Amino acid sequence: MVKRYIWAFILFGILLLPSIISCAAAKPAKFVVNKVDVAPSEIKQFENVTVTGEIGNIGGVSDNYTAILNVDGKERDRKSIYVSPSENATVSFCINETNLGLHQVEIGTIKKDFTVIAKTYLLQHDTGNFDSFWFRNDPFGQWIRFDPPVVPFQVNKVLIMGRRTYFNRPDNKYYTIKIWEDDFKRELYSKDYPYSKFNNYFDIVENEIDPPVNVSGKFTIEFISHSEVDSWSAGQDPTGKVIMIRADYTSDYPGNIGISSKGSNNIPAFEYMFQYGAGLKNGSWIIRVEGTQPRSRDAQKETVLANKKDNYILKNDDGAPTQYWFFGDGGGFWIKYDPPVKPFTITKVLIYGYRFDYWDSGSNARYYTINIWDGMFQKKLYSTDYPGTDFHFNKDGWVIAEINPPIAVNNEFTVEFLSRNESPVWIGGQEKSAKIAIGSSNKTGTQCKIGFSKVGYNDTLKYLNWTVDYPEIVNSSWMIRVEGMGK
């Protein structure tokens, strides 16, 4: 009887042995992140992005896995999911990122990128109905006030519905756009733009605000046409050099437009405007603003630190022009620099000068050229034509020529400016044909590497002849500067 029980126990143990072995051999849960997806990969500010991770369990038992979502190296969220052995499970996160630029998400060891671009806002009080047109003489203009949709708000463009009268050389006539804090409290921006931006028919004209202007409250856009009216009759278009802007007699923001004079509301003119066009009391100029919310200071700081490069301005002049120089077609001026760091990336060339009032119809009449050479004219690294209208008419100032694409140099380099001017014609004691003149400074205190050039090489004879007439130029410099970056 005892033997029977012993054999029964042995048999039961044999039958149970596989289960015991199986339990003893079972592996603990082991998780792996198989993949991470980001959708969409590009969003606008205040939009959501979904981050999805696929988690696998290559262990032998089920368990919970804590998925940690890092954004730009910092934990943003975490979730726990249950994963069975040899199975995959999905975890999802929905995040809202307002800082502009490239961002990186990470779950486990897998990283993915997404980009936040600025949301563009279009501010307008008009409904697009074109009821009338208006013009004002210098110094009068039109103003319109806006509330920013977000704070801070960056003004990038001012759009104006208008047209100009027909006259010759509209690029020599300018209108002005001003931006004011609140109701003319403080001028934030003022810039002249050429009449040639307007067509001879009504259309929206986009005016870039450069540099963009940041506002934190109400702001006023002021448009001053500087129109020169020869004649005008009621119901007729004016004649002369005139810009006319459209008006819309319906608006969502009545009472926030007016006529201005030198930055303050001109009440009599304002009242006259309403008497003449009563519909404008609830109307608007068709002047609109396009803008974005600028990057936060923290985001800007992080980007700067991640991509920090020192900015340099190379110059030999002291900023005070002693005299101005012009050159015939094909000729120009060169100046040689040593890079402050290596490699050095040239991003801009700055030239101080102005253009004359005469233009011919030649193929090169409206352009100047910037060449950048390795060493002293050894190898041309860059050559681009730029419009002559970059220079103001009879008004000197700095012109900034963007070097696109930027040029990296490791040794001394030469910047050559070819004005493409004609041979001068003097009328009444005034020069009437050379189109661009650049400044020179005789107060540098250092002997600079400068010269005259003609189609890419130093015209030594002319250089020597001119320095005999103007010996001070030997220790002078053209007012041609270089801006660039390097680590």
**Domain map (residue ranges) of the chain:** 31-117, 121-292, 309-486
Q: Is the pLDDT of residue 184 over 80?
A: yes
The CB-based long-range contact list for 319-322 (8 Å cut-off, 24+ gap) reads 319/441, 319/479, 320/441, 320/443, 321/352, 321/396, 321/439, 321/440, 321/441, 321/479, 322/439, 322/440, 322/441, 322/442, 322/443, 322/472, 322/476
Give the range with max mean pLDDT: 38-52, 314-328, 463-477: 38-52
What's the CA gap between 284 and 248, in Å, rounded?
5
Average pLDDT score, the chain = 80
Please tell me the distance from the alpha carbon of residue 116 to that of residue 102, in angstroms, as a whole number: 7
54-63, 250-259, 349-358: least confident range: 250-259
pLDDT-derived band at 397 (thresholds 50, 70, 90) equals: confident
Share of the chain above pLDDT 90, in %: 34
| 278 pLDDT tier (thresholds 50, 70, 90) | confident
- Largest CA-CA distance found in the chain, in angstroms, rounded: 142
Q: Which of 248, 232, 263 is nearest to 141 (CA)?
A: 263
Which range (296-300, 341-345, 413-417, 441-445) has the least confidence? 296-300
SS3 71: strand
In the chain, % of residues over pLDDT 70: 75
pLDDT in the model for residue 36? 93
Question: Are 24 and 16 within 8 A, CB to CB?
Answer: no
Asked whether residue 424 carries a pLDDT value surpassing 70, the answer given is no
CATH 3.40.50.300 fits 31-117, yes or no: no
Q: What pLDDT was estimated at residue 117?
A: 82
pLDDT of amino acid 207 = 96
Distance between CA atoms of 219 and 200, rounded to whole angstroms? Answer: 30
pTM of the entire predicted model? 0.50
Least confident of 26-30, 80-84, 175-179, 341-345: 26-30
What is the pLDDT, as a whole number, of residue 243?
A: 94
- Could you tell me the strand order of the sheet in which 42-44 lies? 42-44, 110-117, 101-107, 63-71, 74-83
**At residue 299, does pLDDT exceed 50?**
no
CATH code assigned to 309-486:
2.60.120
Q: Which pLDDT does position 16 carry in this prediction?
A: 56
Tell me: pLDDT of 363 over 50: no
CATH architecture for the domain at 121-292:
Sandwich (2.60)
Is pLDDT at 305 greater than 60 in this prediction? no
Q: Report residue 359: phi and psi, to 5°.
A: -130, 135
| Backbone torsion region of residue 327, taken as left when φ is above 0, otherwise alpha when ψ lies between -120 and 50, otherwise beta | beta
Q: What is the pLDDT of residue 307?
A: 43
The end-to-end CA distance of the chain, in Å, is 94
Indicate the SS3 state at residue 213: strand
Greatest mean pLDDT range, 13-27, 242-256, 270-284, 292-306: 242-256
Q: Given a cut of 70, is residue 306 above it in pLDDT? A: no
On the question of a common fold for 31-117 and 309-486, the answer reads no
Radius of gyration over every alpha carbon of the chain, rounded to an integer in angstroms:
35
Distance between CA atoms of 72 and 103, rounded to whole angstroms? 6
